[in-house]
Amino acid sequence: MSQPNRRTFLHQTARTGLALAAGATVLGQSRSAQAAEAKTGNPLAVFSKSFQDRPIPEVCRIFKEIGADGLDLTVRPGGHIAPENVAEELPAAVQAAQDAGLKVYFLTTAITEPNATSEKLLATASDLGIDRIKLGYYKYKKFGAMAQEMDAVKKQLAAVIKLAKPYGVLPCVHIHSGKSIPSHGTHLYELIKDFAPEDIGAYVDPQHMTKEGGIDGWRQGLDLLGPWIALSSMKNFAWEKTDRDKYGQQHWQTINVPVADGVCPVPKFIEALHALGYNGVISMHSEYKGRHSFQNLDTDGCIAQTAKDIQFVRQFV
């Protein structure tokens, strides 16, 4: 080989080596990026309740800007979409989310029993690839009748399961403190323990579970519900004094506060979820409007506070 040809050969070989090295670096970076993406943890949706005065495409744009991954969309009376309009309006909502780089993770509904409207909602959700919904609420009506009322709710849940199963949509029962069935984690466990996790899901809630579960009841409830946990909200609360009654007893009430400021220890709540293997969606509830909030925020105020809540929660998911 002549000297010039040898130099050309070595130069080309070096360039090839650099190209291969660069390719390996890019490939390594790509794999690292994929691995990082795979470890991003629980996706964060935003519950659309506090944003219903804005059209869905605008809501999607806003949620994307503040760092959310998707929507928990209200499809119920008074919601973003009325149940009777679901077949016409939900496809456009899903498309708006996709256009914004988001996903409709699940629907918040008022379904408590089988009927034609409920079936239409389930069928539409199924067609659009939405595989779970939040059910409506069952109320505790009469003191002294809790056992009978729970039996009645179990029968209603069994009927909803039967309706939803052919569509591959998981009905999820939300824990809501106060006069709801269920109002705490152990309560929900008693309702669903005889159903398979493939047929019904538990929708856990740090705020409501801590209101009724105190220091550790929320964690014990999560422990029982582990196999069924299919959704989680994210919100928090504080206690504040109100008046004394005629006997002099001090009364208290709860108010919604920013996620970082409340009674529920959010990092420990999420740690418990992860210990149970839950890596699903967490819905930011952002319920900062009205008299039950630390401040009665308008929609812009809710957007700003939700952005702060998302930034806080991202540390743990």
* pLDDT tens column, 221-268: 999 999 999 999 999 999 999 999 999 999 999 999 999 999 999 999
The answer, yes or no, to whether residue 5 has pLDDT greater than 80, is no
Q: Would you tell me how many other CB atoms lie within 10 Å of the CB of residue 248?
A: 6
Q: Report, as an integer, the average pLDDT of 193-211.
A: 98
pLDDT, tens digit, 9 for 90 and up, residues 270-317: 999 999 999 999 999 999 999 999 999 999 999 999 999 999 999 999
Q: What are 288's two structure tokens? A: 């900062």
The answer on pLDDT for 197 being more than 70 is yes
Average pLDDT over residues 68-84: 98
Cis geometry, peptide bond prior to residue 227 (ω within 30 degrees of 0): no
Give one DSSP letter per residue of 65-106, joined into a string: HTT--EEEEEBSTTSSB-GGGHHHHHHHHHHHHHHTT-EEEE
**240 forms bridges with which residues in the sheet?**
253
Q: Which H or E run contains 239?
A: strand 236-244
- In this predicted structure, what is the pLDDT of residue 41? 87
* pLDDT tens-place string over residues 151-182: 999 999 999 999 999 999 999 999 999 999 99
Helix-strand-coil percent breakdown of the chain, rounded to 5?
Answer: 50, 20, 30
The reported pTM is: 0.86
Angstrom CA distances, 134 to 36, 37, 108, 242, stand at 30, 27, 5, 33
State how far the Cα of 184 lies from the Cα of 60, in Å rounded to an integer. 32
- Using CA atoms, how far residue 206 sits from 122, 203, 241, 305, in Å, is 27, 10, 22, 18
* Mean pLDDT calculated for residue range 64-81: 98
- Whether 4 shows a pLDDT value over 70: the answer reads no
Q: Is pLDDT at 31 greater than 50 in this prediction?
A: no
Cα separation, 156 vs 165, whole angstroms: 14
Average pLDDT, the chain: 90
pLDDT band at 40 (very low <50, low <70, confident <90, very high): low
Q: How confident is the model at residue 27, as a pLDDT? A: 37
User: Smallest Cα–Cα separation from 111: which of 102, 124, 98?
Assistant: 124
220: confidence class by pLDDT, cuts 50, 70, 90: very high
At 195, is the pLDDT very low, low, confident or very high (cuts 50, 70, 90)?
very high
**CA–CA distance, 287 with 299 (Å, rounded to integer):** 10
Contact 317, 282 (CB under 8 A): yes
- Tell which wins on pLDDT, 36 or 289: 289
The confidence score (pLDDT) of residue 92 equals 98
Instruction: Give the residue, 102 or 35, on which the prediction is more confident.
Output: 102
Q: Higher-confidence residue: 245 or 22?
A: 245
